Amino acid sequence: MKSIRLELQKIYDEYARQFFTCALAITRSRESAEDAIHDAFYRSFRLKEIPRNLKAYMFRSVRNAAIDQRRKQARIVSMSDEYIFNSTVGPQQLLEQKLTKKQLANALLELSDDERETIVQHLYADLTFREISQLRSRPMGTITSWYHRGLSKLRQRLEK
């Protein structure tokens, strides 16, 4: 039988940035997003057996912990665009992309929570619509509607 600690470590190593991005989309705070991830993994160390789909289970755990963190926040702080995007490009490219990233981050903030969270989970966390549907206990049609409606709104805002 595989060790839950080893499996959690593998999942964290592979998806750390995506967990952070999903938590950040909900909490809108770097510190709260990090706390949510820590809470989710801490709770998972107590599992007796490894869930069938550990990746989906951990994304659900991080999401739930982020929602808890959001409830604890006294005020909403703005989401930082620097943590949404992979910054492994060179300094010149980062400089050129900074305005676009800022515009996209601001446009994401203008979406409903469901639209923003669905887009982030699908595009930045590489979750399938089926996984998001299971994770959020919503019909897949609802998830795809939020995704497509959110993308449409993003396009309209970014074209302005």
Structure tokens at 156: 């309209």
Predicted local distance difference test score (pLDDT) of residue 90: 62
Domain boundaries, the chain: 1-75, 89-160
Contact assessment for residue 120 and residue 127, using Cβ atoms and an 8 Å cutoff: no
If you average pLDDT over every residue of the chain, what do you get?
A: 83
**Residue 118: which of 133, 105, 106 has the closest Cα?**
133
DSSP tag of 121 = I
Contact assessment for residue 146 and residue 135, using Cβ atoms and an 8 Å cutoff: no
- Residue range 58-89, pLDDT digits in tens: 999 999 999 998 888 754 444 555 545 554 55
The SS3 assignment for 18 reads helix
User: Which helix (H) or strand (E) segment is 7 a member of?
Assistant: helix 4-27
DSSP tag of 74 = S
- Residue range 123-152, pLDDT digits in tens: 877 888 998 998 889 999 999 999 999 999
If one counts every other C-beta atom within 10 angstroms of the C-beta of residue 89, the result is: 11
User: Which helix (H) or strand (E) segment is 116 a member of?
Assistant: helix 113-119
The CATH architecture one would assign to domain 89-160 is: Orthogonal Bundle (1.10)
**Residue 23: which of 79, 75, 72 has the closest Cα?**
79
The residue type found at 146 is W
Q: Which of the pair, 56 or 83, is modelled with greater confidence? A: 56
- Nearest 5°: the CA angle 39, 33, 4 is 35
Predicted local distance difference test score (pLDDT) of residue 149: 95
Predicted local distance difference test score (pLDDT) of residue 93: 66
Whole-model pTM above 0.85? no
Predicted local distance difference test score (pLDDT) of residue 76: 47
